[in-house]
Structure 1
Amino acid sequence: MKILILVFLVGIYQVTAETHSLKYFVTESSQVPDFPEFVVVGMVDDVQIVHYDGNTTEAVPKQDWMKEVIDDDPEYFKRSTNIFIKEQQTFKDNIEVLKQRFNQTGDVHIYQVMYGCEWDDETDKVNGYRQYGYDGEDFIALDLKTETWIAAEPQAVFTKQKWDNDKARTAYLKYYHTQICPEWLKKYVNYGRSSLMRKDLPSVSLLQKTSSSPVTCHATGFYPDRADLFWRKDGEELYEDVDRGKILPNHDGTFQMSVDLKISSIAPEDWKKYDCVFQLSGVKDDIITKLDKSVIRTNEGNPLIMMIIPIVAAQVVLSVIAVVGFIVYKKRNCKRPPPSVENREVQEEMLPKA
């Protein structure tokens, strides 16, 4: 399929400063078919570094460079495993408490926490966050500036009151997210620098089903996924007559994305005013592809061309669940019942030592 790709590269790219992130996703689920009840995923710069689930009950590295952590700290994954095993029971208890809070029984339910930190490698500025969700809706979150909890649901008010009263733990959480977490993030970035800091520029092509169909600007093979792709006219970004697609993973760990431009109202003499722009985080120069009929690959001559995007897209759901192990369940057409009088407490889980 690479022979179908026409590339336009402009200049020599340069790497600039960027923000790095360390995130943990913890998911407890109830009655989700073919999915572990408890899953923990750790990610650095959106790259998975550690995985644990209730079926295997073992924390395992997901990147080769994470083995350097073991060299420096042989007990790292054993310690993480023990913490996750204890957390598993806490989360199992919590999801039962929440089902009572919302007057629910049975059915599919998901309780999650996302927490972590960000670090700007130029300014050294750090930022932390910690938020909980239930069945795809916000439940409660920590405001690090005020060291208080924000309840997003009436059912979370009791939890907010209990956690707000635990000043010592909240203070520790602030210390964890602004000191401990960033310190580990810097270590991880150093361990995986050659992989995490790499910048892969994409191949960019223009595709079209028929001569009257929208023109698709398709970029594939870029890394990391912090990128943007858009159409512009006379140097100004277009927001009308465009359809922007999502960033999708490729089988080799790189990414792809596309954006469509409706050309039905564009006069032939105005085509030269349009171009497609690809931007990659940390790379100074853009990749600019001119709207030119001579370089457009059409479906009329080769029916396989426009199948490139949907074939890969069809594999995304499986790859996201299999690799990331993190799902957000959004109930459809379901109104929650009024808050329960049940005041059992949602427990705070233990903290993984990054």
Structure 2
Amino acid sequence: MGTMVPVLLPLLLLLGPAVPQETQAGPYTLSFLYTGLSRPRKGFPSFQAMAYLNDQPFFRYESEGRKAEPLGPWSQVEGMEDWEKESELQKAREDIFLVTLRDIMDYYKDREGSHIFQGRFGCELRNNESHAAFWRYAYDGQDFIEFNKEIPAWVALDPAAVNTKLKWEAEAVYVQRAKAYLEEECPGMLRRYLRHGRVHLDRQDPPSVSVTSHVAPGQNRTLKCLAYDFYPRGIDLRWTSADGAQETESGDILPSGNGYYQSWVVVGVPPQDRAPHSCHVEHISLAQPLTVPWAGPQ
């Protein structure tokens, strides 16, 4: 079995200091997703780091180019980050992360297989206060280890993670630095980013809404209300009948891939029901709720 490299402290030392700034109410989030592959292929590099602000892609780093690059509107914001310095930082994290992946594979005596190691960590600000934080890893899609800042301690969620926990907690500074990063340094970084780019996170774009129907022989008619190209994320969709009764509520809210969100809600209508039905839409960008009717089968 290989030796598990104590990845935690080098990562923590590379994360950088906090820079306090005032923010508005929020919520605002900063999160990072690291992905390492044991068998990279075209389009899927051995290591990728993605940073997100409020679920919006902020910057990307990949092992092929080894360069951190801002994404979307953030590429137009001057002084938000030193991208050369960030690239060097991500190179060091890449090396540590992939060594950890190989060490886990050694534990399971499988250096030839195809495996994936992922880490996700971040924090949230509400009313300028740190509200939530997380730091966890997964191996081959299964929970591996996570940090509980209330204990504080690393919690092993996989047999191989017991060795990782012992390595990372061999020195008390590992645990204290992890706690400090989640409670102080990450919120500080988020405040600094908000100072430069909050306008992009505070924008309000109203949803476009479409109502469609589909019916199969011998089945209920299915009505679908789709809201798309809206920002920020929160939205309320529901179908109502002619008497105003609420029939359904909105389901998942998903990124559209273009910096906006989409959501939809469906309801089944019996063939004999020809009464009007309406899709009720509420979003922060709308001065008043929007009602889009479905008048019945044509």
Question: Normalising by the residue count of structure 1, what TM-score does the alignment of the two structures yield?
Answer: 0.67
Please report the RMSD computed on the Cα atoms of aligned residues, expressed in angstroms: 2.9
CA displacement at 1:165 relative to structure 2: 3.1
Letter in 2 for 1:223: Y
In 1: Cα distance, 2:260 partner to 2:41 partner: 29
Deviations 1:16-55 (A, max 9, x none): 9531100011111121432110111111111111111110
> Are the equivalent residues in 2 in contact too, given 1:24–1:116 (CA < 8 A)?
yes
> Are the equivalent residues in 2 in contact too, given 1:204–1:220 (CA < 8 A)?
yes
In 2: Cα distance, 1:277 partner to 1:125 partner: 34
> Are the equivalent residues in 1 in contact too, given 2:28–2:54 (CA < 8 A)?
yes
Matched residue, 1:28: 36
Candidates 245, 249, 271, aligned match of 2:256: 249
| Residue aligned with 2:122, SS | strand
In 2: Cα distance, 1:166 partner to 1:277 partner: 56
CA displacement at 1:93 relative to structure 2: 1.3
1:37 aligns with 2:42: no
Matched residue, 2:214: 209
Alignment CA distance shift 1:17-1:28 (3 Å): same
Deviations 1:107-154 (A, max 9, x none): 32111110110001x362432211111111110000011110111112
User: 1:306-325 counterparts in 2 under 5 A?
Assistant: none
How many residue pairs match? The answer is 269
Alignment CA distance shift 1:77-1:220 (3 Å): same
Deviations 1:284-331 (A, max 9, x none): 8543334432xx8x8xxxxxxxxxxxxxxxxxxxxxxxxxxxxxxxxx
Candidates 201, 226, 230, aligned match of 1:218: 226
In 2: Cα distance, 1:281 partner to 1:159 partner: 45
Matched residue, 2:9: none
User: 1:135-214 counterparts in 2 under 5 A?
Assistant: 135-210=140-215, 213-214=221-222
Matched residue, 2:61: 52
| Residue aligned with 2:160, SS | helix
1:101 aligns with 2:107: yes
> Are the equivalent residues in 1 in contact too, given 2:247–2:267 (CA < 8 A)?
no
> Are the equivalent residues in 2 in contact too, given 1:202–1:219 (CA < 8 A)?
yes
In 1: Cα distance, 2:272 partner to 2:141 partner: 42
| Residue aligned with 2:173, SS | helix
| Residue aligned with 1:108, SS | coil
In 1: Cα distance, 2:265 partner to 2:76 partner: 39
Candidates 277, 280, 290, aligned match of 1:277: 280
Matched residue, 2:97: 91
Alignment CA distance shift 1:143-1:237 (3 Å): farther
In 2: Cα distance, 1:256 partner to 1:77 partner: 31
In 1: Cα distance, 2:281 partner to 2:261 partner: 13
Matched residue, 2:248: 238
> Are the equivalent residues in 2 in contact too, given 1:66–1:191 (CA < 8 A)?
no
Deviations 1:150-187 (A, max 9, x none): 11112211211222332112212211111121122122
Alignment CA distance shift 1:98-1:279 (3 Å): farther
Letter in 1 for 2:280: V
Alignment CA distance shift 1:213-1:244 (3 Å): farther
Letter in 2 for 1:215: L
In 2: Cα distance, 1:232 partner to 1:179 partner: 46
Question: Normalising by the residue count of structure 2, what TM-score does the alignment of the two structures yield?
Answer: 0.79
Q: For CA contacts below 8 A with separation 6 or more, give which structure has more relative contact order.
A: 1
Deviations 1:200-255 (A, max 9, x none): 1112121013495301111122123343433356454537xxx94662515x5333
In 1: Cα distance, 2:108 partner to 2:184 partner: 36
Gaps of 5+ in 2: 1-23
Letter in 1 for 2:248: L
Identity of aligned residues (%): 23
Matched residue, 1:132: 137
